[in-house]
Amino acid sequence: MVRPTDKTANNRTPRELNRSLVLDLVQEHGPISRTNLARLSGLTKPTVSAIIEELLESGSVRDVGAESRGGRPARLLEFNDDSAAFLGIELGVEQTAVAVADARGRMRARLEQPAVLRDPQRSVRDVVELVPKVLQLAGVPRKRLRGACAIVPGLIERPSGLCVLAPNLGWERFPLRAELSRALRMQVSVYNLPQAAAVAEGELGAARGHASYVWIYVGLGIGAGLVVDGRLFFGMQGYSGEIGHCRVADDGPRCGCGRRGCLETFTSVMALRRAAEAATGRSSALAALPRPHAVGAIAGAALAGDEAARAIFHQAGAQLSRGIAILLNLLNPQLVVLGGELLAAPDELLAGVRDELPRHAVRADAVPVVASPLGSEAGLLGAVLLAREGAVRSLRLVPDGVLQGAAP
């Protein structure tokens, strides 16, 4: 799994590392006997037995009976999916969503409601109202919760969890981590959306097996989650990946950050809508759509073969290639994964990226650029996985309740 920055792993004792190893093996290979755990882990049988007794007592694993073989039957153990639950919270521009997952990080239920902009306190209250409802829907008692993570499309200061700026939400300097932790009466970690989506992509999506890759959100804004050598890269304060606010033109529409010429003003939902409005005179398909143009409707016209709609997505991809090139030239990743609303017409967008990228990047041909298979769920899936990772103390006895520097 993709890790946050390395800070505490080296402080773990051999006992804690052995416990973590055995738990991972039970999760991956269960039902499994103590003998096979000793063989796979390289630990002695007494050590494995002592660890298993602790895990049985904590409820992290359970005994599922004996092997049906000849000779003395061995007791089999499996990971207890119901031993813990985790909350994922997405505070988006269009909706506020809350999901609950089991101990493996698999989503059991989710609920959402329309977002409220420019009122972060109201958004926190909406989360508080959604949590008991989604727990009931999943059939999970609150006492089973072991961790929570919230994601937001904005700049998150680490380790304070302060949302310094979320222009599309209308937030500025809001203490998101502190307010959510107080309201939910539990520690809540906070990340931005691309960072969480990058974690999900590495665990469940196109980036599985890749140690260094970039996940780029292309929607209401533009941002990147950076994974370097298997770890999220945050930078000094956590503001890495803000390619949407890289200047790619001397002028242009005013950006939400207050400047002009930002990549986000040329490749985003608003940019796509402006382009569709300008193209209505030469496209009957676009002219027939209700205003303001919805991205899905423009994509539908493109997929139906409307040349003007196809050109809009192709041009958006061509502009996006400028931002991707910056990341390729600086980081030299193995893979670039795109997600977000503009992937509604993936072939046209990717064609624009691939056609123009060689003009801006060194060795662009060596780095695949692909669409995320996780769709709109990438961010929330990442939030659930980060909540699980940040709560490993309850499952694996990691010092300070964190792994690799995840914010509590």
Segment 273-293 mean pLDDT: 93
CATH of the domain at 53: 1.10.10.10
Both 134 and 221 in a single domain?
A: no
Residue 296 lies in a domain: yes
51-60: pLDDT as tens digits? 999 999 988 9
7-41: pLDDT as tens digits? 444 456 888 889 889 998 999 998 999 999 999 99
Under the banding of pLDDT at 50, 70 and 90, the label for residue 348 is very high
d(CA 26, CA 83): 14
Segment 53-75 mean pLDDT: 84
d(CA 341, CA 143): 36
288, amino acid identity: A
For 169-191, the DSSP string reads: TTEEEE-HHHHHHHHHTS-EEEE
Both 177 and 292 in a single domain?
A: no
Residue 51 lies in a domain: yes
Residue 270 lies in a domain: yes
Q: How many separate domains does the chain show? A: 3
Share of the chain above pLDDT 90, in %: 77
254, amino acid identity: R
Both 322 and 334 in a single domain?
A: yes
pLDDT at res. 402: 28
pLDDT at res. 134: 98
Edge-first strand listing for the sheet containing 162-166: 155-157, 162-166, 171-174
pLDDT at res. 68: 66
Residue 402 lies in a domain: no
Domain residue limits at 152: 85-198+378-390
Edge-first strand listing for the sheet containing 335-339: 231-232, 222-228, 213-218, 335-339, 369-371
Identify which has the larger pLDDT, 151 or 257: 151
Q: Mean pLDDT score of the chain, rounded to an integer?
A: 90
Both 117 and 184 in a single domain?
A: yes
Residue 58 lies in a domain: yes
Structure-token match 């939030």, residue found? 383
User: 5-18: b or e for each residue (b if 16 or more CB lie within 10 Å)?
Assistant: beebeeebeeebeb
Both 31 and 69 in a single domain?
A: yes
Identify which of 270, 174, 176 has the alpha carbon closest to the alpha carbon of residue 222: 270
pLDDT at res. 380: 96
Residue 407 lies in a domain: no
Residue 4 lies in a domain: no
CATH of the domain at 132: 3.30.420.40
- Which helix (H) or strand (E) segment holds residue 185: the answer is none
Segment 261-277 mean pLDDT: 93
Both 90 and 58 in a single domain?
A: no
Which residues, listed in sequence order, are joined to residue 63 by a DSSP beta bridge? 77
- CA 14-17-21 angle, to 5 degrees, is 135
Q: Is the pLDDT confidence value at 310 over 60?
A: yes
d(CA 387, CA 406): 9
pLDDT at res. 16: 83
91-134: pLDDT as tens digits? 999 999 999 999 988 999 999 999 999 999 999 999 999 999 99
Both 353 and 333 in a single domain?
A: yes
Mean pLDDT: which of 20-34, 70-84, 325-339 is highest?
325-339
pLDDT at res. 9: 45
- CA 214-217-222 angle, to 5 degrees, is 110
DSSP one-letter code for 73: P
Both 102 and 234 in a single domain?
A: no
Residues ≥6 apart with Cβ < 8 Å to 17? none
Segment 213-233 mean pLDDT: 95
Under the banding of pLDDT at 50, 70 and 90, the label for residue 1 is low
Residue 404 lies in a domain: no
Q: Is the pLDDT confidence value at 240 over 90?
A: yes
pLDDT at res. 70: 59
Q: Is the pLDDT confidence value at 249 over 90?
A: no
166-205: pLDDT as tens digits? 988 999 999 999 999 999 999 999 999 999 999 999 999 9
Q: What is the pTM of this model?
A: 0.86
pLDDT at res. 248: 86
pLDDT at res. 364: 86
